[in-house]
Amino acid sequence: MIRKLGLFTCLFSSFLISGCTRVFTPQPVSPNSFQQIPWSVREKRLSALVEWKIRGAFSFNDHSDKVRMASYSWAQQGQTYEIYIHAALNLYGAVIKGAPGSVQLYRGSNKPVTADSPEDLMQAQLGYSLPISDLQYWVRGLPAISKHSATYDSWGHISTLKQDGWTIHFDRYRPIPNQPFNTIDVPRLLELSNGHIDLRIVINSWNGY
């Protein structure tokens, strides 16, 4: 019985560290799926994409003794958004609702907690923080509205971006389904680092309105 309890404890601890949520890398699509489009044109099309839904998973490594993994769903409508985060094994769930000037976090039946920024709110309530304010742009393959430097691939997608202390690598681009002539491509894999935190975000599904 003691041996079984010890095994269960080890397994449970490993789940806490590595999580059951798997962050699978999406498969690349054929290069024939893309058109060579100047960045100025791509930027305009992506900037016009202000309502969307995405689902996927992320891993978060702050170089401590564990790597956090979770799945998420994100619905964006203009400047408002709702993000659902589900930790491995359903250990906890959180909902972040944001609008200009106010962000709220909901956990279970607890009263919502309010803050000025989603980053501060997540750090205080979850113990880690994602750069959500910038990710609203980055998940579309766009730079946020601040100083940045970028490199581009041969089709005109951003491949590497340096902004607000982060270095972001974009990969696994794919056209958004049901868009005219498949002219809007978005990344399915983002790898971010700021020297202290490594963040890997996979987008498994994308539904542009």
- DSSP per-residue codes, 161-195: EEETTEEEEEE--EEPTTSGGG--EE-SEEEEE-S
Spatial separation of the C-alpha atoms in residues 53 and 49, rounded to whole Å:
11
**Per mean pLDDT, which range of 41-55, 67-81, 124-138, 177-191 is the poorest?**
177-191
pLDDT confidence of residue 42 = 93
- Residue pointed to by tokens 């769903």: 73
CATH fold of 29-208 reads: outer membrane lipoprotein receptor (LolB), chain A (2.50.20)
Q: What are phi and psi of 23, to 5 degrees?
A: -100, 80
pLDDT band at 46 (very low <50, low <70, confident <90, very high): very high
Over the stretch 52-69, which tens digit does the pLDDT of each residue have? 999 999 998 888 767 788
Q: What is the mean pLDDT of residues 10-19?
A: 33
- Residue pointed to by tokens 């959180």: 94
- Could you give the C-alpha distances from 108 to 72, 88, 111, 118, 127, in angstroms and in order? 16, 16, 8, 18, 17
pLDDT confidence of residue 67 = 77
pLDDT at residue 182 tops 90: no
pLDDT band at 26 (very low <50, low <70, confident <90, very high): low
Which DSSP category does 182 fall into? G
Spatial separation of the C-alpha atoms in residues 155 and 34, rounded to whole Å:
7
Q: What is the mean pLDDT of residues 32-44?
A: 88
Q: In the chain, where are the structural domains located?
A: 29-208
